[in-house]
A and B are shown apart, each in its own frame.
Chain A
Amino acid sequence: MAPDTGLTSANGTPVHEIAAVSLRVPADRDYVVLVRSAAGHLGAQLGYSVPEILDLRLAVDEACGIFLAALDPQPRSSAEAGRSDLECRFSISDNGLRFRVSGSATGVMEPDTAGLGWQVLSALVDAISWGNDGTTASMALEKRHAPGGPRWPT
């Protein structure tokens, strides 16, 4: 059975995943470009319009930025900080796209929900979630399609 993406349809039932892309990068600002590049290509594959692709890349970038800032409000290089990696996962379903970034919860603060990054992200996506179970911290965003909207090619 396909794993539950965590996305829900309008009536609250879970939606199943069609495809997933995972990327693991050092928890360092210099590598966020790779994650948003992946988002851009996935958006194109989903048939998003150019403005939608721009918005998706920006949203994913902001989520990574917010997450990195929560990891370490005084960012240094990942080599100095000895940080674990960022696990990034794009999950595509008929309902939309979900992006999740996670990492070690050691030293993780609350996300800056008053900051410019959060404001920008909130305007671009349908849902944002934050989790921290003491071992792993994560942040996810959902961008839902309207029925009949973009489809993953079959």
Chain B
Amino acid sequence: MSDFSLSVTTAGAVVTATLGGEVDLAEADRLWAELSPLLTPGSTMLVDCSAVVFLDSAGLRSLLRLADQAEVRGAQFRLAAVSAAVRRVLEVAGVDRVFTGPEDGASAGTAL
């Protein structure tokens, strides 16, 4: 019932996942199920959340699981763009520092 969209484009080893609408407890499992298989060794996944109008802790938990899975598999995982709603949840959950990329000074091996 909630408005949720997920599209994936691939360019070489870079997978861009574009999320839109409401990423909530009803959609969080689907987010994980669709994106985790794409975290292959050496790949980079960029998640564009600029069109996400709602994200809750369940949706965030899926993103965190994906970040962890990326690290386990030797893939890179990064939030490429965030909306105000996403930024707020990251801030309130205290994880806004987790999703930083190599350009922010985090080591290449743990870029999320």
A interface with B by C-beta (< 8 Å): 29-34, 36, 51, 54-55, 57-58, 61-62, 65, 68, 115-117, 119-120, 123-124
Given contact pairs A65-B56, A124-B92, A116 touches B61 in the complex (Cβ within 8 A): yes
B56 with A29: CB separation less than 8 A: no
Residue of B nearest to A115 (CB): B57
In the bound complex, do residue A58 and residue B56 qualify as a contact, i.e. CB atoms below 8 Å apart? yes
CB neighbours of B92 from chain A (8 A): 58, 119-120, 123-124
B24 with A51: CB separation less than 8 A: no
Interface string of B1-30 (1 = CB under 8 A from A): 110000000000000000000101110000
B contacts, CB < 8 Å to A = 1-2, 22, 24-26, 54, 56-58, 60-61, 84-85, 88-89, 92-94
Can you spell out 14 A-B residue pairs with CB atoms less than 8 angstroms apart? A29-B25, A29-B26, A30-B1, A30-B2, A32-B25, A33-B2, A54-B85, A54-B88, A58-B88, A58-B89, A62-B57, A65-B58, A116-B93, A124-B92
Tell me the complex Cα distance, A119–B56, Å.
11
Q: Which residues from A are CB-within-8-Å of B56?
A: 58, 61-62, 65, 117, 120
Residue of A nearest to B93 (CB): A120
**Contact B1–A119 (Cβ < 8 Å):** no
Q: Which residues of A contact B93 (CB under 8 A)?
A: 116, 119-120
Most buried by A among B2, B24, B56, B88: B56
- Other than the given A33-B2, A65-B58, 16 more pairs (CB < 8 A) read A30-B1, A30-B2, A32-B24, A33-B1, A33-B26, A36-B54, A57-B54, A58-B54, A61-B24, A68-B25, A115-B57, A116-B93, A119-B57, A119-B92, A120-B56, A124-B92
